Amino acid sequence: MRNFTRPLAFTLMFSFPGLLPAGEQQPDKEQPKASSEAIKRLIEELGDDAFGKRTEARKQLEAIGEPAVGALKKAAEDAADFEIRTTAKAIIEVIEIRSSGLLHTLRGHNNRVNGVAISADGKRVVSAGWDGTVQYWNIESGAKESGAAIRKMLGHKGNVMSVAVSPDGKWALSGGADFTLRLWNLDTGAQIRDFLGHKSTVWDVAFSPDGKRALSGCSDGKARLWDVETGQLLLTLDTITAGVAWTVAFADNGKQAVTGGGNTLGKNVPTVALRLWDLTSGQEVRQFVGHTRDVRNVAVSPDGKQLLSGSFDGTMRLWDMATGKELKRFAGPGHFVESVRFMPNGKRAICSYGPKVTEKIYDEDPSCSLRLWDLETGKELRQFKGHDGPILSLAISADGRFLVSGSADRSMRVWQLAK
């Protein structure tokens, strides 16, 4: 037992030398084997009076990795020594981040990252921020280039809510609180055109599979179909009355569209909408009934036969596109489900969790995680931890190698996915 107490600031500044930022960790070596007695001894040494001994104990525990997590969690909760508890928590975080596959942390936005999209070749990311910018990133270099974006694209007058990349990787669409949908040239950063006609905030945008048309979802409850080349409005879908069209997606190779929304935030008589539309006639094909609060995000499976939806009711749901039948329900920590995506093989899916209520949008919360699910069994397979706040957007590369997430903590994170 020490006979003095070091201030926490001292601990944070000096007790963790040599720790590299995520994305710059040294390649993993084979984890050293250690007995439970050795792990216990090292944990006790985290509180030693000698600075060098504390540092070496931490280094060895981090190298041991997963086998030490159980004892470290117990120490983080029960140790009488404040410094042992604090350092044990920090070591657990390092081990979890390292095992999660985190490659890079990208910082450049000055406010929440509300939308992310990956180019078809998996090499570039486009992000939408509440700082009013659309940013273009190299996913392969990431933090090795100091997290600097290739370029920032300015033009929106207010928060940017969503972003999409064209199938050929040449263009980006962004939707914002300034009632506009905008088209960008990613090679030059130039704004090509505005799509005018929205009456309120544009919450979601999508390119058709051939890149010739665009969909947008708006706070006025309408989804709109556009000609990308001319900017002409082709069709308006009345997705919900007195509510928000939060999310849109193309289906059936661009012949149909899925829209999701609702008005349950602050409404006395809640309405939830998840619908499939024919884009030739503009008629509703079917509804998917089950969510009890707004549908925040949707995704269509690679084979077009299934639909994923994420909701403010805290669930992700899997649907049969042909019948509208709910196939499975995935319950997480009870937070808003902000984003959902299929893995390329269509057998698994990842969803992200935001706050429990809108007032907590910036709160730190370890349960605001990314979670990987097996769609056949309904079992949770893995969590991705590292963000310090609600995770508002995600994208998966076409080859399934990378996951990118955007958060209210103002960062994006690039994760390596298992093959």
What share of the chain in percent tops pLDDT 70?
A: 88
pLDDT tens per residue, range 230-265: 999 999 999 998 899 999 999 999 999 999 999 988
pLDDT tens per residue, range 105-157: 899 999 999 999 999 999 999 999 999 999 999 987 644 444 568 999 999 99
Angle at the Cα of 27 (from 23 to 30), degrees rounded to 5?
140
What are the residue boundaries of the structural domains of the chain, listed by start? 8-100, 103-416
The CB-based long-range contact list for 414-417 (8 Å cut-off, 24+ gap) reads: 414/23, 414/102, 414/103, 414/104, 414/105, 414/106, 414/125, 414/139, 414/142, 415/100, 415/101, 415/102, 415/103, 415/370, 415/384, 416/101, 416/102, 416/103, 417/101, 417/343
Lowest mean pLDDT among 29-33, 92-96, 203-207, 251-255: 29-33
Q: Residue 141's pLDDT is what? A: 60
Enter the tokens of residue 209: 């599979």
Residue 27: pLDDT band with limits 50, 70, 90: very low
Q: Residue 360's pLDDT is what? A: 85
What's the rounded mean pLDDT across residues 410-417?
92
Amino acid in position 188: T
Residue 368: pLDDT band with limits 50, 70, 90: confident
Highest mean pLDDT of the ranges 9-13, 264-268, 300-304: 300-304
Question: Is residue 399 pLDDT above 60, yes or no?
Answer: yes
Alpha-carbon span 380 to 104, nearest angstrom: 24
CB 69 within 8 A of CB 36: no
Q: Residue 232's pLDDT is what? A: 97
- This prediction has a pTM of 0.79
The H or E element containing residue 319 is strand 315-320
CB 229 within 8 A of CB 189: no
Question: Is residue 1 pLDDT above 50, yes or no?
Answer: no
For residue 107, the tally of other CB atoms under 10 A from its CB is: 17
The H or E element containing residue 352 is strand 348-353
Question: Tokens 């503009």 identify what position?
Answer: 282
CB 233 within 8 A of CB 224: yes
Please name the CATH architecture into which domain 103-416 falls: 7 Propeller (2.130)
Q: Residue 16's pLDDT is what? A: 28
Paired strand residues for 311: 295
What share of the chain in percent tops pLDDT 90?
A: 72
Of the candidates 267, 244, 265, 247, the one whose C-alpha atom is nearest the C-alpha of residue 257 is 247
Alpha-carbon span 411 to 24, nearest angstrom: 16
Angle between helices 69-78 and 36-45 (to 10 degrees): 40
Question: Tokens 């993993």 identify what position?
Answer: 28
Of the candidates 251, 260, 377, the one whose C-alpha atom is nearest the C-alpha of residue 306 is 251
Q: Residue 364's pLDDT is what? A: 80
pLDDT tens per residue, range 385-397: 888 899 999 999 9
For residue 399, the tally of other CB atoms under 10 A from its CB is: 12
